[in-house]
Structure 1
Amino acid sequence: MLFQKTLISEVVLVVAKRIGDHRGYFSETFREDEFLQNVGGFKFVQDNQSLSAEVGTIRGLHFQLDPRAQGKLVRCVAGAILDVAVDIRVGSPTYGQHVKAELTADNGHQLWVPPGFAHGFCTLEPNSIISYKVTDYYSHEHDRGLLWNDPELDIEWPFDAEAAVLSAKDKLQPKLADLQATFVYKA
């Protein structure tokens, strides 16, 4: 596996090696020892999967508050998504900035989104399925979000607000300027 730092060094693109032949391929998608060495000592406690049927479905930007903050290792197992991580750690030199990566079933790439980041994605193909590991259990009480199309975030989504398929919850999330200080950057 290759672990590629992004423009925000804590967010890491994980590129799994595929060994293929006429039958298809084999790939290790997670190795605790390599993850520990290249990313850090995070323990995964839950695996999640979601299907988004329509192209242009946007889920996010989501995060959980401390003490139930989640890191996420995200991969696309069917279709294709544009995956986004936004730094919401107050005092961070990259506060409010984001990283994007195209994750597809074909490329097999994964994105590590650490605690302190809001996470979301947009489907680029119909019937896209993502599978992701998280470092803490889901907690409705700690579940929060950030408005996906806040102009301050300057995220270039492949679809505009009229074409995006959103949940009622994601349409009403706060902007970055209205977000309470939930995470503090530790140098």
Structure 2
Amino acid sequence: MLRIELDVRPNADGWFKENFHAAELEDAGMPRFEVRQHNVLYLAEPGITRGIHAEPWDKYLSPSNGRVFAAIVDLRDGETFGRVETFELDAGQALSVPRGCGNSFCVLEPHTVYNFLVNDHWSPERVTVDLFDPELAIEWPFPRDRLSYTERDAANPSLDSVRSALV
């Protein structure tokens, strides 16, 4: 995984950034990334939470507006399985997340716009984990009763179940 600081340049109208510049990102250590799909998610309210989802593609994540708390969980078989890294991201940061790592986020500001660039087309295949698994101990930025998440995400399996499926 790689956290990238982006150059956000204020101007008379607001700001400008090069959100994705392949050569500069490769120079910063990001593996070559061929964009196949660019998804944009508008999130109206703080506390909206999604994840933990590990799809069979690499992701490049960055807000265009607002802020998110991102929790990334390594779900690949190996010694780093279950490792959690958390970040607060605004328009000046991006994350490069390799396939097999679970992405989750919580909206911190109203009217957040989150960009997901991926290097494969969408498919339903994915590994999911419970947002509130005690083994992960993710410290979400709001109490659980202030988070808004889907019923599908609420039914995600435990980290231990995912671990058992890998064996």
Whether TM exceeds 0.5 here: the answer is yes
Correspondence list, 1:40-51, <5 A: 40-51=31-42
Q: Among the aligned pairs, what percent are the same residue?
A: 30
Structure 2, unmatched stretches of 5+, are none
Q: TM-score of the superposition, structure 1-length normalised?
A: 0.81
Q: CA deviation at 1:53?
A: 1.9
Question: 1:37-186 counterparts in 2 under 5 A?
Answer: 37=27, 38-64=29-55, 69-92=56-79, 94-105=80-91, 108-140=92-124, 142-179=125-162, 180-181=165-166
Q: Distance in 1 between matches of 2:45 and 2:161?
A: 30
Which residue matches 1:29?
A: 19
Q: Is the counterpart of residue 18 in structure 1 residue 8 in structure 2?
A: yes
Q: Does the CA contact (< 8 Å) of 2:73 and 2:85 recur in 1?
A: yes
Instruction: Report if the CA contact (8 A) 2:54-2:75 is conserved.
Output: no
Please say if residues 54 and 165 of structure 1, whose CA atoms lie closer than 8 Å, have aligned partners that are also in contact.
no
- Between the aligned partners of 1:53 and 1:25, the Cα distance in structure 2 is 21
Q: Give per-residue Cα distances to partners, 1:86-143, cap 9 Å, x unaligned.
A: 1111213x221111111123xx211111112000100111221101101111102x13
Normalising by structure 2, report the TM-score: 0.90
Q: How far apart, in 2, do the equivalents of 1:181 and 1:160 lie?
A: 31
Per the alignment, in what secondary structure is the counterpart of residue 45 of structure 2?
coil
Q: 2:144 aligns to what SS in structure 1?
A: coil
Q: Distance in 1 between matches of 2:35 and 2:134?
A: 33
Tell me the secondary structure at the aligned position of residue 89 of structure 1.
Answer: coil
**Counterpart of 2:23 in 1: which secondary structure?**
helix
SS at match of 2:24: helix
Query: What whole-Å deviation, never above 9, does each CA across 1:38-73 have from its counterpart, x for those lacking one?
Result: 111232210011122221111111122xxxx11111
What CA distance in whole angstroms lies between the structure 2 residues aligned with 1:152 and 1:27? 38
Structure 2 residue matching 1:86: 3-state secondary structure: strand
Q: For the residues of structure 1 that align with 2:16 and 2:145, how far apart are their CA atoms?
A: 40
Once residues 163 and 26 of structure 1 are traced to their aligned partners in structure 2, the CA distance between those partners, rounded to angstroms, is 33
